[in-house]
Amino acid sequence: MQKIQKLILLIILSATFTSCFKDDERITPFERGDRITDTIPMTNITPSGLVQAYANQVYYSLNDSTIVSINEKKSFDLAFDATEDGSRIWLNTTNFMLAGKSDKTDLEEVNSAAGLDMIYDPSSGNPDSTAIGDWFEVQEADTVYSKLVYVLDRGYDEAGNLLGKKKIRFDSLVGDTYYFSYSNLNNTNLVQASATKKAGFNKVYFSFEDDGEQLQPEPLKNTYDLLFTQYTTLLFTDVGDPYPYLVTGVLLNPYETTVAFDSTMSFEEIDMATAMNLSYTEQADRIGYTWKDVRGDVESGIVNYIVKPEFNFIIQNNNGWYFKLRFVGFYNRQGVKGFPVIEFQRL
């Protein structure tokens, strides 16, 4: 009888203690995926065979292993922050665009860029270092707009043709709408314009072409990871002197996308365990352009581009997935440059 009582007590205690422990956490299985190789058409080839080098901006989704959208790099001039509390204004750096701020508020008083410090947006994506900068300030409960006139050098198209200059004054941001005025330097073609934020996008865009229009080359911010594009960045001469230069590379989606770099491991070695021990950054140009080398005579333009497949980039996108990526080519099958070939795999 006593043995039976002890057995019953043991069963009760066992049930009690077992209920105190949580079940093992279950991880939902998913398909890691095979390696994917894709070619990005940054260069445009017209039906007549005309080659327009680096004419395209290409938005790419690693999740879907597909091009989300393509637009001509010269399709816009300005980009406006579309986030809820955002107010920054960016230049189109794919065209080597510059801006200089005057000390005048009357558009008609500014007729040239003489004496202005013409600067560009840094490729890092730092919102506190834009060429337009702070164009208003909040004083107590009031917003005070400087309404200073800027001169904009629109840069060059893909053929190297000058796009000309404009002068512009940013007047206000009311609700979700930016209001601004611009004209030619000789005071012709004065335009009162606006650009309105759109939910779900990083930026909204504006072109000075024709009578001016708002447009949306960039897709929804949660639908892409990488932007293949030309952009302006700071390089240095052999003696260390800085100079801005137009490069061809890759920028990160600024929305919850980060990247890490490694060149010590082979592409095959990188797995989720190693990826979790790397240091990540949201710096827009961390992938940038250095995954290729230029060989030849740069001044004459007779050069070859050699990619560096030993450069590995590990990307965490806005869906939380990790991907390893490297570059394995820069030419299409006809030998035309401007067709980066990427190899990537979900971890």
Q: Which SS3 state, helix, strand or coil, does residue 258 take?
A: strand
Whether the pLDDT of residue 11 is over 60: the answer is no
Where does the pLDDT of residue 140 fall: very low under 50, low under 70, confident under 90, or very high at 90 and above? confident
Token pair listed for 34: 């095979």
- Predicted local distance difference test score (pLDDT) of residue 32: 63
Apex CA 339: angle with CA 124 and CA 253, to 5°? 30
- Predicted local distance difference test score (pLDDT) of residue 128: 86
Sort 62 into a burial class: Cβ within 10 Å, 0-12 / 13-18 / 19+: buried
Q: Which SS3 state, helix, strand or coil, does residue 14 take?
A: helix
pTM over 0.85: yes
pLDDT digits (tens, 9 = 90+) for 303-316: 899 999 999 999 99
For 29, residues 6+ apart whose C-beta sits below 8 A from its C-beta are none
Q: Please identify which residue in the block is written with the tokens 């053929």.
A: 159
The H or E element containing residue 248 is strand 242-252
Token pair listed for 110: 């500014």
pLDDT digits (tens, 9 = 90+) for 158-207: 788 899 999 999 999 999 999 999 999 999 999 999 999 999 999 999 99
The H or E element containing residue 9 is helix 2-18
**Are 338 and 43 a contacting pair, CB within 8 Å?**
yes
